[in-house]
Amino acid sequence: MDSEREERMRRIFTLANIVSFSRALMAIPIVILLNRWDGHLVNFPLWAVFWIALAVFSDFLDGWFARSYHEVSWFGKILDPIADKIVILAAIFFAAPIRDRIPLWFVIFVVVRELLIALPGLWVTKDSRRQLQANRTGKISVLVLSLTLLLLIFKLDPWSYYMLLLSVAMGAVSLAFYLYEFYRFYREDIKPTT
């Protein structure tokens, strides 16, 4: 019994999952540092750059650890996209340099997209033998969104607006891939048994 519990704990507390969990916590210093910034470029907090770069890098690092050390797990496949969403949504809703510049329609798009991925994904995979995980277009979409937020922070117009549009396009493409995958899960794993 103890060995089973130890094995479960070992599968949860992997290096890849620790990196993902740490990324979620990086939202705290990012938001605090951005909110302390007075808006002048010369006074931009360099530690914010460090934490943002570390969060973006950790998104690739956790996947590399999982594959390299054979630590791919159901828990990790859920934790990784949740950590991404925590950092991005915290920046959008709580970091004043972003919150004050980002259009409401874009915030609505991001929130609706996340709900359209999370809710059907959890419903389908609950009754499926497959696992919910981020796809390549989803990862690219997160990277483009991160770059968009950086351009918004530095008020690099009109490039920030173009990146906003590109972010919407990438988000829509990745959403279509997710929904298609969920539909395939439903057709192959759930519908035949109902």
Mean pLDDT per segment of 10 residues, for the chain of length 194 residues?
Answer: 67 82 94 90 86 87 80 76 88 90 92 85 66 73 87 88 94 90 77 58
Q: pLDDT value at position 78?
A: 77
Q: What pLDDT is stored for residue 80 in this prediction? A: 82
Instruction: Write down the pLDDT at residue 167.
Output: 94
**What is the reported pLDDT for 128?**
60
Which pLDDT does position 169 carry in this prediction? 95
- C-alpha 73/C-alpha 86 separation (Å) is 20
User: Do the Cβ atoms of 12 and 73 come closer than 8 Å?
Assistant: yes
Q: Decide: residue 89, CB within 10 A, 0-12 exposed, 13-18 middle, 19+ buried.
A: middle
Q: What is the pLDDT of residue 27?
A: 94
- The string of DSSP codes covering 53-95 is HHHHHHHHHHHHHHHHTT---HHHHHHHHHHHHHHHHHHHHH-
Q: Tell me, what's the pLDDT at 165?
A: 95
Residue whose C-alpha is closest to residue 62's, from 139, 177, 148, 173 = 139
- The 10s digit of each residue's pLDDT in 8-48 is 666 777 888 888 899 999 999 999 999 999 888 888 888 88
* pLDDT for the residue numbered 76: 75
